[in-house]
Amino acid sequence: MNSAFQQILDAWNDNESPSEIYHMILDFITTYKDEIKNQDLANDILKRMEDNDSTNDIVEDVIYGDVYEDLRNEFPR
């Protein structure tokens, strides 16, 4: 699970498109939904996706935003 999350961060560092990273985040959450400890944050991301929040905003928040810091800390690099 840590390596899958690291792939999202690596994609960001490699300047992959926000759309590609968005789908990686969606795949990560749906694949590891039952294993993610911080369910509230994972559900918040999914809700934002369902509500059609800006792709860029979601990606940036997951990668470095304060709101998802606890989620990022769950997956040590």
Q: Minimal CA–CA distance to 39: which of 28, 31, 29?
A: 29
- Number of separate domains in the chain: 1
Q: Where are the alpha helices (DSSP H) in 1-77?
A: 2-13, 18-32, 39-50, 55-64, 69-73
pTM over 0.85: yes
Structure tokens at 64: 């470095």
pLDDT digits (tens, 9 = 90+) for 38-48: 999 999 999 99
What pLDDT is attached to residue 1? 87
Its domain, for residue 41, covers 2-73
pLDDT digits (tens, 9 = 90+) for 16-75: 999 999 999 999 999 999 999 999 999 999 999 999 999 999 999 999 999 999 999 998
